[in-house]
Structure 1
Amino acid sequence: MNSILKKYKSYITLEQGLSNNTREAYLHDVEKLLTYFEDEKIDFLKVELDHFHSFAAALMDVGIGERSIARILSGVRSFYKFLVLDGYLEQDPTELLESPKIGKHLPEVLSVEEIDAIEGIIDVSTPEGQRDRAAIEVLYSCGLRVSELCNLLLSDLYLDEVFLRVTGKGNKQRLVPISERAIRELKAWFAFRNSINIKPGEEDYVFISAARKKHLSRITVFHNIKVYAEQAGIQKTISPHTFRHSFATHLLEGGANLRAIQTMLGHESISTTEIYTHIDRRFLRDQILQHFPRNQKD
C-alpha cells in the first residue's frame, strides 16, 4: 500500500500538477477511505459502487457536511482513476459515483464605495499600510486568488504594458490586465519595499512582511482585511475572495462577456465562472426598468 500511495503522490504531482494544498487534501481523503475499508474488511481493489455509498454515509454520520463530502469523493475518484491508469484495476468503480448535491454559495459582493472605504481607512504612512492597500487594490483590480497574490513575483509584473502574469491552480499561467490605480499603489509600496532587508530567496516576491523579511502569508492577508473592514464599518462578512468576486460581478454589471471573465479568473470551465453571475437585485431591477420596452414611456 505504501508503494501504491507513493506512486499516486507522484501521479498527482507530476502528471496532474496539483497544488501542494490539493495534493495533501487528496492524500488525506484516500487515507480516510482506506481506513474505512480496513475497518469494514473490504478489499480496496475489489470494491463496488455501494461500498463508496456506504463510505459517504459513514462520513455524514460523523457530522461531515455535504460540501466536505463532495471534496473527499473528488479525491477518491482521483485515486481510483490512477489505479486504472497504472494497471491495478481494469475498470473504475467510481465512474458512476455522484457527489452530494450542493447549493451554490454566493459570497458577499462589495460596492466600489465599500472597497474605497476599506482602502481609505488604511494608514499609508507605514510600510505595512501601503503594502496592504496595494495588495487589496491588486486583489480587486485583477481578480486574484489570495494564493496568487501571496506568490506574485516582481518578474511577473509588466507594468509598462499594463498586465500581470499570474500562476494559478495547477501552475497554469494567465495574463491579467492591471488598472492604473493598482499600478500607482504598487509603486508607492515599492518605495517602502526597497528599504527592507529581505531574506535570501525571497527577493522576487512582490508583497513582503517588513517584520519577517519574507513574503506575506495567506493568514496575514485574511487577518488584515478583516481588521480594515471592521475599522471601515463594513458589516458584511468578507475575505480576500470577496474582492475577487466583486471584481467579476462589477465586470459583469459593466457588460463584460462571461468568457472574458472566465479567462481573467483562470477558470478551466465556464460552469465555474457562472457562480460570479450573481447580480445585485437593485442593479437588475434598474436595468429592467431602464431597458425593457414595456417599462419605457411614450
Structure 2
Amino acid sequence: MLTTYISYLQDKGMAQNTVISYKSDLNAFFHELQITPDDYVLPLDIRKWINAMINPSDTKPLAVTTINRRLNALRSFYSWAVKNKKLQHNPMEEIQDLKSADENYEKIMWLTEDEFEDLLYIIRKKPVKSRGVNPEEKYRRDRAIIYLLTYAGPRVNELSNLKLTDLDMELKRIRIVGKGMKVRTVPISNTLLAELQEWLSFRAKMATKKAHVADSPYVFYSQRSQKFTVRGIQTMIEGYSLPNKKLTPHMFRHTFCKWMLKATNNDIEKVRRLAGHSNITTTSKYLKDSYSDLADAVDALPVF
C-alpha cells in the first residue's frame, strides 16, 4: 500500500524531495512501531510514538518541527488511505501538531516604551502620500487612535464602532461594546483624556467644514466616510510599522494588557475585566516575559 501511495504523490506532481521526505518519515513510523502500512493503528499508538520522539532513551530528542513534519506525512497518508478505501479508520483525526513551549506566547507581541515613543515620532514625521488629505487632520486622528488603542485596549472592531456617546469625558470613562454585545466600561487615564480632548476639539472644527463629519456619530471617521472601517484602521496602522516590527491594531491591545499588568503589579483579574476577556487564561498569557525580557534578566546577573 505504501508503494501505491508514493506513486500517487508522484502522479500528483509533488516535488521529488518532498516525496522522498514523506517516504522516509512514513518508513520511520512503521519501522519504529514495528508495523506495516496495512495494520490497524490507534491514536494512542501515535501518541506513544510522539512521546518516544520527545523523550528518547538513548538519542537526542527530535525538534518539534521535525516531529510535526512526520505527523504531516502520516496525516496525508492515512487521509489518502481512508479516502481510497484502503483503510476504514484514520488514526490521525485526533492528533494535533505539537507546539513549542513559547510558540503561542511569541505570537503575542507588544510595544516597549521606547518603541511607542519611536512610533509617535514616525506618525509626526511621516509624509502624506494621498492627494487631498489634510496632513494635520490625519496626524491628529491617527495619533488619537494609537493612544486609545494603547491606553484603553479596545479591539479594532470595537474602536471602529466607538461612538461619541460612548465617551464620558466628565466621568472619565469609555463604554465599549465587545464580543457577544457584552458591554464593559474602561476608565480614561489622564494621559488618554488629554489626547481625546485634543482630538474631539479638532474634530468639532472639522465638523463645521465637512458634512460627513458633522453627520457622523462615530469618534473616528475616514476621508470620505462617516466611519473609519476596520480595514482602514488596519491599513493606517500597518503604514506606521517600525523598521523591525510590523504593526497591527491587536498589537496595541497586547501592549495595553502588558502595561496594565505591570501597572497593577500583575493583578490579572483587573486586567481581564478591562480587556474584556471572557476567560482569565487569555489574560494570563501576558504574565510571561518576552525572550528579550529573559535575555535582559540573564545579563543582569552579578559578575564576579
Q: CA deviation at 1:178?
A: 1.9
Alignment partners' CA distance in 2, 1:161 and 1:189: 18
Measured after TM superposition, the shift of residue 182 of structure 1 is: 1.9
Larger Rg: 2
- Structure 2: state its 5+ residue gaps: 1-71, 77-92, 126-134
2:246 is matched with which residue: 237, 242, 248?
Answer: 237
Q: Distance in 2 between matches of 1:113 and 1:174?
A: 30
Give the structure 2 partner of residue 205 of structure 1. 218
1: CA distance between counterparts of 2:252 and 2:270?
Answer: 18
Distance in 1 (alpha carbons) for counterparts of 2:299 and 2:257: 23
**Which of 120, 127, 131 in structure 1 is aligned with 2:137?**
127
How do 1:3-22 residues align onto structure 2 when only pairs under 5 Å count? none
Q: Is the 8 A contact 1:202 1:215 kept in 2?
A: no
Task: Give the Cα–Cα distance (whole angstroms) in 2 for the partners of residues 166 and 136 of structure 1.
Answer: 16
The reply on whether 1:247 has 2:259 as its aligned counterpart is no
In 2: Cα distance, 1:285 partner to 1:117 partner? 22
Please say if residues 162 and 178 of structure 1, whose CA atoms lie closer than 8 Å, have aligned partners that are also in contact: yes
Per-residue deviation, 1:100 = 4.2
Deviations 1:23-66 (A, max 9, x none): xxxxxxxxxxxxxxxxxxxxxxxxxxxxxxxxxx9xx86xxxxx
Q: Return the TM-score normalized by structure 2.
A: 0.56
The structure-2 alpha-carbon separation of the partners of 1:99 and 1:143, relative to structure 1 and needing over 3 Å to count, comes to farther
- Taking structure 1 as reference, are residues 286 and 123 closer, same or farther at Cα in structure 2, changes over 3 Å only? closer
Q: Which residue identity lines up with residue 111 of structure 2 in the other structure?
A: L
Q: What is the aligned counterpart of 1:187 among 179, 193, 197?
A: 197
1:175 deviation in Å?
Answer: 0.8
Q: Any conservation in 1 of the 2:240–2:247 contact (CA below 8 Å)?
A: no
Structure 1 stretches of 5 or more lacking a match? 1-56, 62-96
Cα pair distance change 1:256/1:162, threshold 3 Å: farther
- What's the CA shift for 1:166? 0.6
CA contact (8 A) 1:249 1:279 kept: no
Q: Give the Å deviation of 1:129.
A: 1.2
Cα deviation 1:86-107 (Å, max 9, x = unaligned) = xxxxxxxxxxx97946742522
Partner residue in 2 for 1:221: 233
Q: In the alignment, is the contact (CA less than 8 A) between 1:130 and 1:185 conserved in 2?
A: no
Counterpart Cα distance in 2 of 1:206 and 1:102: 43
Q: How many residues align?
A: 197
Distance in 2 of aligned mates of 1:100 and 1:120: 44
For 1:121, what is the secondary structure of its paired residue?
helix
CA deviation vs aligned residue, 1:140-170 (integer Å, no higher than 9, x gap):
0011111111111111111222221110000
Aligned twin of 2:154: 144
Instruction: State how far apart, in whole Å, the 2-side matches of 1:275 and 1:202 are.
Output: 41
Contact preservation (8 Å) 1:248, 1:261: yes
**2:186 aligned to which of 172, 176, 183:** 176
